[in-house]
Amino acid sequence: MTETVLTPVVCTVEIAAPRERIFELFTTPDRLVAWWPEAATLEAREGGELHLEFPQGDVSGRITRFEPPGALGFTWVRSAAPEVETHVEVELTELEDGGTRVELRHTGWESVPEEQVAEWRGMHEAGWNHFLRCLKDLAEGRPVDKTWRM
């Protein structure tokens, strides 16, 4: 296996909205479903549980970092492979113009079976890029099309 497939997925987007609003869109279930999963439950606290429902399958996890309005971290366990746990960290940086830089890091690819790691990493990188564009659209007042095809 090449080391490249084990490197973190890192996706960054700049959004013309304050980081308090972006943090709310990441941590409030009824706001989350406007740009990301079809349904969501989330206990907004460190140690809280997370459950996201997608057409491709559900994801569950635990909040590992909760620092409003600057950072959020959670484990990522797909229902299709409950023995595999990866990790997502989101950093929100306030920009001089009042906007926010969102940097998302998805790590833990070494826990994915070797024959699937390249596929999983690629799928998640594409998904994160798509859904962060959806977040940007919502936060900036544009229509959101969550439709994503793997």
What tens digit of pLDDT does each residue of 74-91 get?
Answer: 999 999 999 999 999 999
pTM for the model stands at 0.94
Structure tokens at 10: 């890192």
What mean pLDDT value characterizes the chain? 95
Provide the pLDDT confidence category of residue 148 given band limits of 50, 70 and 90: confident
Peptide bond into 69 cis (omega under 30): yes
Structure tokens at 79: 């229902």
Neighbours of 86 (CB within 10 A): 23
What tens digit of pLDDT does each residue of 117-141 get?
Answer: 999 999 999 999 999 999 999 999 9
- The CATH number of the structural domain formed by 3-139 is 3.30.530.20
User: Within the chain, how many helices (H) and strands (E) appear?
Assistant: 3, 7
Question: Tokens 């492979």 appear where?
Answer: 81
Q: What's the chain's Rg over C-alpha atoms?
A: 15
How confident is the model at residue 4, as a pLDDT? 64
Q: Is pLDDT at 6 greater than 90 in this prediction?
A: no
How confident is the model at residue 96, as a pLDDT? 96
Worst-scoring range by mean pLDDT, 25-29, 49-53, 54-58, 126-130?
Answer: 54-58
Provide the pLDDT confidence category of residue 23 given band limits of 50, 70 and 90: very high
Q: What is the mean pLDDT of residues 86-100?
A: 97
Question: Tokens 């990522």 appear where?
Answer: 76
User: What percent of the chain lies above the pLDDT cut of 70?
Assistant: 97
